[in-house]
Structure 1
Amino acid sequence: MQMQQFIDRSHLDLPTLNAWIEAEWLVPIAAKRRLDFSDAELARVRLIQDLKADFGVNDEGISIVLHLLDQLHGLRCLVQDIQTMETLDRAKHGG
């Protein structure tokens, strides 16, 4: 989604959005001289907002939570790849 639609859906103001991009809490896709945002980025905004408002997590804590979440996602993808390779290997060898 384009920036204005993302701002409307996330209820962020432009300075906050820019600060979160600068902090690498959000990583939009650069496309033809504009920034596009995914639904995953919208979910991250909602998580950040919940952590700040509901749990009182400070900026340093937000960075740690997002870093751990990204690591967990990477490990999940790796496990899925390994499972796929094992399934293909079993099929290849008739097992």
Structure 2
Amino acid sequence: MTIDRAEMCRRVSVGRRSLQRWIEAGWIHAPDGDGVIAFSEVDVARAELIRDLAGPMGVNQDGVAVILDLIDQIHGLRQALRGLSTAVAVQDLPVRQRIWSDAATHPLGRRRADCTLPPARRSRTTM
């Protein structure tokens, strides 16, 4: 579902000028289809965050830009980790065990001493 600029302003409780500044700053990506800017629910949530940061939380423009950049990086990392996790999960048990063992003993990967192998998942070859 997509919404137009007027609906976005109404749902987020911001003026058109504020929304336009956020678009120009690159904080909100406004896909332009058929000459009409349409926003998604994700865009609405992002705009609400920007509104809260710049408003009640008192974060300045540079701070908002940094926070949004960090959030975008976190989302990218989560997506990459999901892909990696999926790739590991479809490997045969010995390969998964080696990966988890190496991760548990590697100085940069070790977060706690009791790293254990997660529950076994069926590989594609056994399905």
What interval of TM-score do these two structures reach, taking the shorter chain for normalisation? Answer: 0.7 to 0.9
Which structure has the higher relative contact order (CA within 8 Å, separation 6+)? 1
In structure 2, C-alpha distance between the alignment counterparts of 1:63 and 1:11, rounded to whole Å: 20
Deviation sequence 1:20-54 (CA, Å, 0-9, x none): 00000100222111111111111111111211223
Which 10-residue stretch deviates more, 85-94 or 17-26?
85-94
In structure 2, C-alpha distance between the alignment counterparts of 1:80 and 1:55, rounded to whole Å: 32
One-letter amino acid of the counterpart of residue 34, structure 2: K
Aligned length: 94
Q: Find 2:67's aligned residue among 65, 68, 87.
A: 65
- Structure index of larger Rg: 2
- Structure 2 partner of 1:43: 45
In structure 1, C-alpha distance between the alignment counterparts of 2:90 and 2:31, rounded to whole Å: 33
In structure 1, C-alpha distance between the alignment counterparts of 2:40 and 2:5, rounded to whole Å: 10
In structure 2, C-alpha distance between the alignment counterparts of 1:73 and 1:3, rounded to whole Å: 25
One-letter amino acid of the counterpart of residue 124, structure 2: K
In structure 2, C-alpha distance between the alignment counterparts of 1:84 and 1:65, rounded to whole Å: 29
Tell me if 1:26 matches 2:28. yes
TM-score normalised by L of structure 1: 0.88
Higher helix share: 1
Identify unmatched segments of 5+ residues in structure 1. none
Structure 1 residue matching 2:32: 3-state secondary structure: strand
Identify unmatched segments of 5+ residues in structure 2. 93-122
Instruction: Give the conservation status (yes or no) of the 8 Å contact 1:7–1:13.
Output: yes
TM-score normalised by L of structure 2: 0.68
What is the Cα-based RMSD across aligned positions, in Å?
A: 1.4
